[in-house]
Amino acid sequence: MILIVGASGVLGGRIANLLLDAGKPVRALGRTPAKLEALRARGAEVVQGDLRDRASLDRACAGVRQVLTTAAAFETRQMAQVDGQGNRNLVDAARAAGVAHFVFTSAHAARADSPVDFFRAKFAAEEYLRASGVPWTVLRPAAFMERWGETIGGAIAGKGIATILGSGENPINFVSVEDVARVAVQVLDDPDAPGRSVPIGGPENLSMEEVARIYERVLGVTAKRKRAPLPVMRILGAVTAPVSPVLSRMMRAGVMMDTTDQTLGPSETLRRYPIQPTRMEDWVRAHHAAPSAPRASA
Ligand SMILES: NC(=O)c1ccc[n+]([C@@H]2O[C@H](COP(=O)([O-])OP(=O)(O)OC[C@H]3O[C@@H](n4cnc5c(N)ncnc54)[C@H](OP(=O)(O)O)[C@@H]3O)[C@@H](O)[C@H]2O)c1
């Protein structure tokens, strides 16, 4: 049995579906089981649980061979309780249940000295898992193109506006959720995965300006730029911290994206876990048809 924590989310849901496609037994944990009905209909066992509730995790881990978690609370005030104590609760529950392999979804940006509390929490959770004695694998994906591409270019279609954080010139690696999910299911099948950190990047490092230009090219429009200047993000990141930790975190993440190395080169990962990596332009084309593009007749 494979327990997926975060199965109601974008990545966790995709991984659960790929496992079900392959006929694997899946237990999907969610705070709101109603969100997991589609997975239940496909044969998953659904359990109610919360990373902040250790007893619910003990129940969820019973009889489980592998745990994979994608859960995170980046955009909530409970981030520390979920990504900090919550992840530690899950590791402890997995150890108590004798789980054979724990796969933790971290991030390429996770590090001990990150300016963003969320990425420090991710790194601390990695360290906790590595020291736990439970056989572990850490997935370290780059920025998701679904999330960031749409942040930058999603409003080009309707409003003709591209959103650029900072200079928009810093190269960033973008990976598609589908590709991360395809690597994750191979990791679960790999007897040599325990003890490995697995960087998962897309095929290109692109600046936000380059992403905006991809959307413009695909949609056949020229977009205005809505800019969040670096000094504004820096000031907002500092002054909003006591009153709005979520806004503060977003601003600091924006600064981090524009001012630190966000690139990822070709890695060992693709040799070990072969996938056909998705290019940003192909993803945008697949999800946004140009309004003026001629349609093929039936
Ligand atoms: N977005 C990026 O660019 C990026 C880049 C690298 C890594 N990542 C990481 O990739 C992972 C998956 O991202 P995603 O976009 O799929 O996230 P998502 O769609 O926001 O899903 C988050 C999941 O976490 C669950 N969750 C939140 N609080 C919980 C709690 N207290 N107890 C149990 N579950 C809880 C949510 O379940 P509910 O239905 O209960 O809310 C949801 O299933 C995350 O760990 C993220 O940090 C993301």
Task: Tell the burial category of 48 from Cβ atoms under 10 Å away from its Cβ (0-12, 13-18, 19+).
Answer: middle
- CA–CA gap between residue 61 and residue 55 (Å, rounded): 10
Atom 21, ligand 1: residue with shortest CA distance: 9
pLDDT recorded at residue 294 = 41
- CA–CA gap between residue 116 and residue 140 (Å, rounded): 16
- CA–CA gap between residue 94 and residue 80 (Å, rounded): 20
Ligand 1 neighbour 126 (Cβ under 6 A): no
Rounded to the nearest angstrom, the distance between the alpha carbon of 145 and the centre of ligand 1 is 15
Ligand 1 neighbour 11 (Cβ under 6 A): yes
In this structure, the dihedral spanned by the alpha carbons of residues 104, 105, 107 and 112, taken in order and rounded to 10 degrees, is -30
pLDDT recorded at residue 193 = 98
pLDDT recorded at residue 290 = 58
Ligand 1 neighbour 72 (Cβ under 6 A): yes
Query: What tokens were used for 28?
Result: 């999907």
Q: Which atom of ligand 1 is closest in space to residue 32's alpha carbon?
A: 40
Three-state DSSP class for residue 157? helix
- CA–CA gap between residue 11 and residue 148 (Å, rounded): 14
Query: What tokens were used for 257?
Result: 């994206």
Q: What is the pLDDT along the chain (298 residues), one digit of tens a residue?
A: 999 999 999 999 999 999 999 999 999 999 999 999 999 999 999 999 999 999 999 999 999 999 999 999 999 999 999 999 999 999 999 999 999 999 999 999 999 999 999 999 999 999 999 999 999 999 999 999 999 999 999 999 889 999 999 999 999 999 999 999 999 999 999 999 999 999 999 999 999 999 999 999 999 999 999 999 999 999 999 999 999 999 999 999 999 999 999 999 877 899 999 999 999 999 999 998 755 544 333 3
Ligand 1 neighbour 86 (Cβ under 6 A): yes
Of 210, 201, 73, 72, residue with least CA distance to 141: 201
Q: 3-state SS of 274-291?
A: CCCCCCHHHHHHHHCCCC
pLDDT recorded at residue 296 = 37
DSSP 8-state symbol, 294: P
Rounded to the nearest angstrom, the distance between the alpha carbon of 298 and the centre of ligand 1 is 40
- CA–CA gap between residue 59 and residue 97 (Å, rounded): 9
8 A C-beta contact, residue 212 and residue 172: no
226 DSSP β-pair partners = 163
Rounded to the nearest angstrom, the distance between the alpha carbon of 4 and the centre of ligand 1 is 11
Query: What tokens were used for 89?
Result: 């609760």
Rounded to the nearest angstrom, the distance between the alpha carbon of 12 and the centre of ligand 1 is 8
- CA–CA gap between residue 50 and residue 86 (Å, rounded): 8
Token pair 């056949």 is found at 220
